[in-house]
Amino acid sequence: MTKAISLKKCLFSYDKNTKLVINIDQLDIETGEKVFLYGPSGHGKSTLLNLTAGVLKANSGSVEVLGQELTKISQSKRDHLRGEKIGYIFQIFNLIPYLTVKENIVLPCMINKKRSDDDFHKQAEELIDSLGLREYIDKKVTDLSIGQQQRVAAARALIGNPQMIIADEPTSALDEKNTREFMELLMNVWEKKKFTLIFVSHDERLKSYFSRSISLPEINHHD
């Protein structure tokens, strides 16, 4: 199996001569794997995600994502890679407040031509149905509850069939019931599409949903 993410001897600090935020010897995630990345705050979680999403560039070592060596390609190529092949879900406030539910979901297809190869409107409708958002389709996202907003965020990450989904603590703002519902929906979609799923959380109880668990404090030997 090819690797979705492969970090080797990866070092990163925000300024030269300041302390290292990322110092990872080896991290491999296989294609189609669903991985739980345990990351309490202060262990370079955001930085790692920014590195794998191609927003930041490692100082040294290698960061290979979906077959591309990110340290060797330009910023705009990294932006394209992220736009085309990666879906990203934030903790909260995932949505552009002035767009409707549907507009938010199809936004990646509007930004990236390559993600809109099929009829993305039809795809958006399907996602809306499968996530139970039909009645909110033309509502302003600010009228939705946090749980509903996170489902919209998931739909947006999933549209255009990205090869990888990065979820950055998507359940931390949800209550137990909403968290369970969200996790079940995510797992259902994963069963169908088998994308690479990297799920970051400080809530270790969610570990059970995943096939593998990586603890960030253990692999990141930062200063």
Partner 1 sequence: MINFLTYKSISNRKFTSFLCVLSIALSVTLFLGIERIRNGARDGFTNTISKTDLIVGAKGGPLNLLLYTVFHIGGAVNNIKMKTYEEIKKNHQVEWTIPISLGDAYRGFRVVATDENFYEHYRFRGDRSVEMSEGRIPNDTFDVVIGSVVAKKFNHKVGDPIIISHGISAQAILSHDNTPFKIIGIMKPTSTPLDTGVYITLQGMEAIHFGWETGVPNGEKINPERFKKENIQISQLTSFMVKLKSRIAVLRMRRDIDNYMDEPIMAIIPALSLQEMWETIGYVEQILFLVSLCVLLVGVLSILISLYTSINERRREMAILRSLGASSRHIFFLLIYESSFLVLAGCILGVVSMYGLLFFVRPWLESNFSVYLPIEALSSTEWIYLGLIFVVGTLAGLIPAIKAYMNSLQDGLTIKI
One residue of 13, 31, 50, 213 binding partner 1 per CB under 8 A: 50
Beta strand residue intervals within the chain, DSSP E: 3-12, 22-30, 34-38, 60-65, 68-69, 86-89, 164-168, 196-201, 212-215
159 to each of 75, 104, 126, how far by Cα in Å? 23, 11, 10
One residue of 6, 23, 112, 149 binding partner 1 per CB under 8 A: 112
Q: Is 3 in the site for partner 1 (CB under 8 A)?
A: no
What is the contact mask toward partner 1 in residues 169 to 208, using x (rule: CB under 8 A)? ----------------------------------------
Candidates 32-40, 93-101, 200-208, 213-221; binding stretch for partner 1 (CB under 8 A) = 93-101
**166-197 as b/e, with b when 16 or more CB fall inside 10 Å?**
bbbbbbebbeeebbebbbebbeebbeeeebbb
- Per CB under 8 A, residues contacting partner 1 are 46, 49-50, 53, 55-56, 75-76, 79-80, 82-84, 88, 90-91, 93-99, 103, 107-108, 110-112, 115, 156, 168
